[in-house]
Structures are given as C-alpha cells and as structure tokens.
C-alpha cells in the first residue's frame, strides 16, 4: 500500500444540467491531477443535482454501465485520475436509487454503492433504498468503502465497512445548513472509532430551496482533520499516509476489541 493523495470537490449544485456538470467534473479533474491527486470525490448526485424531484430522477436514471458512467470514464482516462461521483441509477428491479460510482484512472469501473438510509420525504420521493451489500474495493493497495450522506450518521454502516477491511470510506453528500455537527464532529468520530480515513464531500450554496452547509472534510484514523472546506466552492487536497492507519490501529484497537458478530466470551 502506497500513500494516497485525495481531492474533494466542494461546489454548488447545478440541478438538471448534466452537460454543465460534466464540464465542471472535467475542470476539477484537470486541477486535481495537476496537484498530484490519485482520486477525486464529488458531492452526492453531482452529475444531475440532488433536489430534482422524483420525475426528473426517474427520467435521468441509468443502469450501472450507462452513458454517464462511460462519459466519466473518458474524463478519468483523459486526466489520469480516479473519480467517485454521484447520480441516479436504476437497479436490476427497475427501481431508482441514489448511487455513487468509482472509476479508476484507466476508466475501469471499480465499485458502486446505493444509498441505504433515505433522508425524509425528499429522498423517499425520489429513490428506493439500497441493500447495503456492497463490499470495499481495491484501489492502489487501499480498500475503499462508500457511503452516501445520511448513511454516515448511522454508526453500523461505517463499522460494517471497517470490519470488511476498509481503509478509507468516501462519502458523497448533500448535507444542509443547520447540520454542521455531522461534518465537524461526527465524521471525525467515525474515523476515530473505526481507525479508517473518512472523506466527506459536500455541496455549498443554494439549490431549489435548499441551503447546503459545505464544510467538506477528510478525517484521519485518529480523528484528526486533515482538510476542511468552508462555505464556498473549493478543491480540497489531503495526503493519506499508510503509516497513520497502522499506528492508529495499534494504539486504539477498536476493531480488534469489537465483539459485534462474535460469540460471547464464557
């Protein structure tokens, strides 16, 4: 496992304009790759906008190997950087889900995830819940797991990925103003209690009546915050050190001590 340079895109949402969002992704990948980043993470539903309504989400939903995934793969190849992005996806049953997808620098699909915890009527009016059966995938010697926004607020989701061997959990999000506790306290706590890196990429600004909180961040396995956005558009960079994982796991040891799913001691 080599060290990993991570980029987070914090930006305003552009609902419904996939072409504009693809260009913004291309620009962000160019900047991140020039800064030496290996992986760029975008906010939740980045390619289509988040608060777009059920009809638009259904009309824009594609399958796992749809046109948008292929277009993002071309961007990844052009700039030589892996990408995690969000968009509406149609599963094998035909249900519309809130998905995150990762393609590598060669444009190959590495992994996908469908949001399991739907936030209020807003999410439930657009999406069906995922099954939470995705496992971490390999990237440059790292095991990466994915969650989406509200999912990270339930500790069992991050713990499940950590117990499956995740070193990094990426969290595309559309967290609103008034919920700063999640970015400021909860994300570092998830990193600390599981001895993993957690990368939380949020929108900022306004979208269809929603005000987003920004504050995108990267937290280390000891809970330290390595990068933190403000309320404005930015590209954040963080260096993830492999030694930080082993040191935190040795010093803190939560995963070794965790008894979840184990037989009780006599």
Model pLDDT for residues 11-31, shown as the tens digit of each residue: 999 999 999 999 999 999 999
What is residue 265's predicted lDDT score, i.e. its pLDDT? 54
Q: How far apart are CA 183 and CA 205, in angstroms?
A: 16
What is residue 90's predicted lDDT score, i.e. its pLDDT? 96
Express each pLDDT in 184-215 by its tens digit.
Answer: 999 999 999 999 999 999 999 999 999 999 99
The pTM is what? 0.96
**139, part of any domain:** yes
**262, part of any domain:** no
**Average pLDDT value over all residues in the chain:** 95
Helix (H, G, I), strand (E, B) or coil at 239: strand
What is residue 124's predicted lDDT score, i.e. its pLDDT? 97
For residue 205, count CB atoms less than 10 angstroms from its CB and return exposed for 0-12, middle for 13-18, buried for 19 or more: middle
**What is the domain extent for residue 47?**
4-257
**263, part of any domain:** no
Domains in the chain: how many in total?
A: 1
What is residue 184's predicted lDDT score, i.e. its pLDDT? 98
Residue 185: CB atoms within 10 Å: 11
What is residue 211's predicted lDDT score, i.e. its pLDDT? 98
User: Could you tell me which residues come within 8 angstroms of residue 99 by beta carbon, excluding any fewer than 6 positions away?
Assistant: 86, 87, 88, 89, 112, 113, 114, 115, 130, 148
Q: How far apart are CA 36 and CA 29, in angstroms?
A: 10
Residue 208 Cα distances to 88, 97, 133, 211, 262, angstroms = 18, 20, 32, 9, 46
What is residue 263's predicted lDDT score, i.e. its pLDDT? 52
**132, part of any domain:** yes
Residue 191 Cα distances to 6, 98, 104, 217, 246, angstroms = 16, 23, 24, 11, 13
Task: Point out which residues pair with 17 in neighbouring strands.
Answer: none
Active site residues: 44, 115, 149
Helix (H, G, I), strand (E, B) or coil at 141: coil
Instruction: Kindly give the parts of the chain with pLDDT less than 70.
Output: 261-266
What is residue 257's predicted lDDT score, i.e. its pLDDT? 87
**264, part of any domain:** no
User: Could you tell me which residues come within 8 angstroms of residue 175 by beta carbon, excluding any fewer than 6 positions away?
Assistant: 149, 182, 183, 202, 203, 212, 213, 215
**169, part of any domain:** yes
For residue 261, count CB atoms less than 10 angstroms from its CB and return exposed for 0-12, middle for 13-18, buried for 19 or more: exposed
- Closest residue by Cα to residue 12 from 253, 248, 233: 233
Q: What's 47's domain CATH number? A: 3.60.110.10
**265, part of any domain:** no
């Amino acid at each position: 496992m080599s060290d990993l340079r991570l980029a987070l895109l914090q930006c305003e949402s552009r609902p419904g304009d996939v072409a504009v969002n693809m260009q913004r992704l291309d620009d962000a990948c160019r900047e991140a790759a020039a800064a030496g980043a290996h992986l760029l993470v975008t906010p939740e539903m980045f390619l289509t906008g988040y608060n777009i309504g059920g009809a638009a989400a259904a009309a824009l939903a594609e399958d796992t190997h749809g046109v948008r995934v292929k277009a993002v793969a071309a961007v990844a190849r052009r700039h030589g950087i892996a990408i995690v992005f969000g968009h509406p996806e149609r599963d094998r049953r035909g249900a519309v889900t809130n998905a995150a997808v990762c393609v590598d620098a060669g444009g190959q699909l590495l992994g996908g995830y469908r949001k399991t915890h739907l936030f209020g009527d807003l999410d439930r009016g657009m999406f069906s819940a995922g099954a939470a059966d995705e496992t971490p995938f390999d990237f440059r010697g790292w095991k990466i797991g994915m969650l989406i926004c509200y999912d990270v607020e339930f500790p069992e989701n991050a713990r499940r990925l950590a117990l499956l061997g995740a070193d990094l959990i990426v969290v595309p999000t559309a967290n609103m103003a008034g919920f700063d506790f999640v970015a400021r306290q909860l994300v570092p706590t998830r990193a600390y209690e599981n001895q993993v890196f957690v990368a939380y990429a949020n929108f900022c600004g306004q979208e269809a009546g929603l005000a987003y909180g920004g504050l995108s961040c990267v937290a280390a396995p000891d809970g330290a915050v390595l990068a933190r956005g403000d309320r404005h558009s930015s590209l954040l960079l963080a260096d993830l050190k492999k030694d930080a994982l082993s040191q935190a796991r040795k010093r803190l040891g939560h995963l070794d001590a965790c008894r979840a799913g184990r037989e009780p001691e006599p």
